[in-house]
Amino acid sequence: MVTVSSRPPTSTRTAAAPAGLFARIALQALVAVVAGYLAMGVVAALGLWAAGAADLPGGFTAVLAAVVVMATGGKVELSGDAGALAGTQAQLTAMPLTVTLVGALVTGYCFLRPLRHHAVTGARELLLRAGAVVVLWLVALAGLSALARHDFRITLGGQETEDPLMDLFGDLLDSVNPTVGFRTDLGPTLFYGLLWILGVLLVSRGTPLPSRLVRYQEPVRPAAHAMLLLLLAYVLVGLVVGLVVAATKGHPADTFAVLLLGLPNVTWLALGVGIGGSWEGRAEGPFGLPVPQVLDAVLRDGGGGERPDLSTVDLSSLAAQDGRAWWLLPVAAVLVLAAAFAAAVRSPARTRPWQHSLRFGVAFALTMLVAAPVTLVEARFGLSVLGIGELDSLGGQVLLRPHVWVIAGFALLWGLVLGLLGGLLASRVRRKGEVERPARDKDGAGPSGTP
């Protein structure tokens, strides 16, 4: 008698299992990448529409692609052409951090969702999942980079200006069809895009770690999670303030352009200024930044001292324009202390206050070493005629540069002090790993009568 089994051979089952796992991981990675780029595209499109970019002649799609590329750390180069009559100089370095933040949150959430029931995962599976997201992310970024290129024709003649060079050469330059455009530098874009997506995956709070790395999460994750909460809290406060301004002060389109493109640029600058840090910069010409009027006024006011061409953006210079800027100091104290308390509560009960102070101080300094540089803005465009001079009505410059190490030093100091205070406050709260001792009666005996 011959027995026939309906079960497939063991080798077939073992071969099918990895194939199914790979297909599922690839699909989940594709969902994370598509969701991240879609979210960034929607926010960037709304921000550009609020800023008036919808009226650009035939280049809105290219500008939208360029903004998304810049949000992931990509490099977009400006260029101009005015024939032999004129020379052009152009430069652009900026990150629209609202678009960046939305993309990071959506991509991180979609990456973590399939792992939400995994306390620990294998290193091989984690690398496979991360690798799939990274590869698909860079492929999509390369496609966007191909779209992020366009040339706009500039019309100079027939304008009423006070620029004598414009009056003299405007109509003549129009005859050679001067243009200004932008292109994506693919190599640096892919490199910085790789760093961006790796950073998103690494700092995701819920990422399950391989068993060998679990012991390192106790001293790192509470402070890292508190830093994320601090940055998001500043963005949330800025969002509320922005909505109130849009509803009460007029010019809602300009306010929504700030909220949808550069909200973290402004709020994280407010955090740095509130703890004592400073930026330097200037704004001249018809171009400007999507920033509050008080900051734009400081940048256009001109500086003094060793760098008279640059303005210093700090608590005193902002308060000189608007006295309400002094509120940045107590707001920073309250929110940083709340973050320190949150980190201490999430830390094991055996963590001593001085340990929490050190960890929180280092975490805050490292956070500002990342958050401050991404607020850098450098933009310049100039058109010079026959080497005589630049057309003031067309050229302009915007610069906003952080004093990174000063900001990081203040962050370390604030983190050490408020980290210690937060640890002391958290010692009165029941924390993770703490075992409540049984109460003793007035004779000194435990609940079962034992001494």
- Per-residue pLDDT tens for 263-321? 999 999 999 999 999 999 888 766 666 677 888 888 887 655 556 678 899 999 999 99
SS3 442: coil
Separation of alpha carbons 112 and 32, rounded Å: 9
Sign of CA dihedral 15, 16, 19, 21: negative
- 334 band by pLDDT with thresholds 50, 70 and 90: very high
Q: Indicate whether 184 pLDDT > 50.
A: yes
pLDDT digits 0-9 by tens, 346-364 = 888 788 888 999 999 999 9
Separation of alpha carbons 419 and 361, rounded Å: 7
Residues 244-270, mean pLDDT to the nearest whole number: 90
Q: Indicate whether 182 pLDDT > 80.
A: yes
Q: List, as one string, the DSSP characters of 268-314.
A: HHHHHHHTT--EEEEEESS---SS-HHHHHHHHH---TT-TTSEEES
Say what the alpha-carbon torsion angle 368, 373, 376, 378 is, to the nearest 10 degrees.
Answer: 160
Q: Indicate whether 163 pLDDT > 80.
A: no
SS3 176: coil
Other beta carbons less than 10 A from residue 30's beta carbon: 15
Residues 170-195, mean pLDDT to the nearest whole number: 74
SS3 141: helix
Q: Indicate whether 168 pLDDT > 50.
A: no
Q: Indicate whether 386 pLDDT > 90.
A: no
Of residues 160, 176, 171, 186, the one with CA closest to residue 65:
186
Query: In Å, what is the CA distance from 49 to each residue of 42, 58, 70, 98, 187?
Result: 11, 14, 17, 15, 29
User: Are 403 and 278 contacting, i.e. CB atoms less than 8 angstroms apart?
Assistant: yes
Q: Indicate whether 11 pLDDT > 70.
A: no
pTM for this model (two decimals): 0.83
Tokens of 262: 């550069």
Q: Tell me, what amino acid is at 259?
A: L
Tokens of 34: 């598509």
Separation of alpha carbons 265 and 199, rounded Å: 18
User: Are 37 and 102 contacting, i.e. CB atoms less than 8 angstroms apart?
Assistant: no
Q: Indicate whether 167 pLDDT > 50.
A: no
- The average confidence (pLDDT) of the chain is 79
User: Are 148 and 62 contacting, i.e. CB atoms less than 8 angstroms apart?
Assistant: yes
